[in-house]
Structure 1
Amino acid sequence: MKREYRSWYSDRLQREMNIRVYGHAGTPLLILPTQDSMCDNFENFGMIDTVAPEIEAGKIQLFAVDTVDRETWSNVWGDKGWRAARQEDYYNYLIEEVLPFIRTENGTGRLPIAIGCSLGGLHAAIVFFRRPDLFGGMMSLSGVYDAKFFFDGWEDGTLYQNSPVDFLANLPEDHPYISLYNQKKIVLCVGQGRWEDEGRRTTAIMRDIFAGKGIHAWVDFWGYDVDHDWCWWKKQLRYFLPYVLGEQG
């Protein structure tokens, strides 16, 4: 399997940011790590091995990025307004720096699919639902979609833009993004076992928003034995990957 390590200094984040690229061709996947993790996250927990056959066959090419979660979602003692603004900086880094890099490196012209587990699932939802014109689909496993959960119930206009349960709930039913969403493959999956309470709660909210807005999405609640853990995310990634790649209906 072809592996490459890239980095550059981000003016938006004022720091060096890293990307790991897995594979030589195929549909690009933007990989958003779990909370506080970096671009080696999926590899360290065996997720790259889980989809190695597809990578080696040239069906998919993965682009795994760093996070700044320790300054934003996890920075519980920090100024909330600053934390929200920093998250917006990270969103802009992904949209304005990472996506052009993916387009150049991948070269297929295909739009990337955003994929993440846990807090990475929130990041995937943020970028996809804010800019469906730039993505081919999304898969969020055990995501929590209410940004206020990480901010003790606080929210300002900037954090609102990074809280899918809020900005989607207020999306007009004739908004052009809805037809764009419905041209893409959308997966939200959550278990009902240990450590999934908030994921379960907010995934149910997202399901109801989708139903009310006419947004077509696969929202799947797995069993009460399915915990918030890598062993299940590996199974879910393999299960949903053919769907988001358009290989099944």
Structure 2
Amino acid sequence: MIIRYYNEYSRHLGRQMEYKVYGHKGKPVLVFPTSQGRFFQYEDSGMIEALNGFINDGKLQVWAVDGIDWETFFSTDWDNLARIYRHEQYFNYINEEIIPSVLRQSRENNGSDQQLLLTGCSMGAYHAANFYFRYPWAVDTVVALSGVYSSDYFFGGYKPTEIYLNSPVDYLRNNNDAFYLDRFGKSRLIFCCGHGAYEDEMRDETHALQRVLTDKGIPAWFDYWGAESKHDWDWWQKQIVYFIGQIL
């Protein structure tokens, strides 16, 4: 497997940001880490090994990006607005720096334009969903595992505009833009959660998102695994292999 490491300056974040790329061609996959996780977490936790067959066969190429959740959603040093403003800088970093680079590299590797697959586990699932629902134009697939989808989980009931716009359950409920709804309807949206240990809150959040998407007429696959399926990497490895196998 070809693995490349990058350490590049981000103009939006004002610092160096690291990421790794796995594979030589295939559908481009952008992976977000879990809460306070780093760009190497996906590999260290066995997810790249689980996807090894897809990557080596040239069916997937994976970009694992860094997070800054310790400065934003999980910061104890900054007030709520400062935290969400910092997240907006991260949002712009992904949208305006990472995604154009991924699409450019993918076009070169595959010989044609490709649409992105966004994925992540736990907090990474939140990021995958939030980035897609806010700006879906370069993305046609989301695989979100054991995520939360409301800002209440991080900010309680405090919801000024800046936080509201990062709370998918809330802003989707009020999004009647035909342009967005048409795009959502043409994408493959997969949300999975287990019934095992430490999945209760994530399951409630996933059900809440399911109700909103159903009410809006947005097709999505919601899959709830059994009592043995817990909030941990061994199950996320099984889930990502299963869902990627259904997609490709």
**Percent identity of paired positions between Structure 1 and Structure 2:** 38
Unmatched segments (≥5 aa) in structure 1: none
2:133 maps to 129
1:6 maps to 6
2:211 maps to 208
Which residue of the other structure, out of 183, 187, 207, is the alignment partner of 1:184? 187
Q: Summarize deviations over 1:107-146 as a string: whole Å, max 9, x none.
A: 2310110000000000000111111111021010000001
Contact 1:30 1:63 survives alignment (8 Å): yes
Given the two structures, how large is their TM-score scaled by the length of structure 1? Answer: 0.95
Q: Summarize deviations over 1:176-206 as a string: whole Å, max 9, x none.
A: 2111111111000011111112211110011
* Structure 1 position 87 matched with structure 2 position 90: no
Q: Aligned Cα RMSD in Å? A: 1.1
Alpha-carbon distance between aligned partners in 2 of 1:219 and 1:199, rounded to the nearest angstrom: 13
Alpha-carbon distance between aligned partners in 2 of 1:98 and 1:162, rounded to the nearest angstrom: 19
Once the 2 structures are TM-superposed, how far is the Cα of residue 77 of structure 1 from its aligned partner? 4.5
Alpha-carbon distance between aligned partners in 2 of 1:142 and 1:199, rounded to the nearest angstrom: 6
Given the two structures, how large is their TM-score scaled by the length of structure 2? Answer: 0.95
Contact 1:88 1:162 survives alignment (8 Å): no
Alpha-carbon distance between aligned partners in 2 of 1:159 and 1:239, rounded to the nearest angstrom: 33
The 5 A counterparts of 1:72-151 are 72-107=72-107, 108=110, 109-151=113-155
| Secondary structure, aligned partner of 1:78 | coil
| Secondary structure, aligned partner of 2:18 | strand
Moved more, 104-113 or 84-93: 104-113
Contact 1:110 1:136 survives alignment (8 Å): no
2:17 maps to 17
Structure 2 residue identity aligned to 1:2: I
Contact 1:121 1:139 survives alignment (8 Å): yes
* Structure 1 position 64 matched with structure 2 position 64: yes
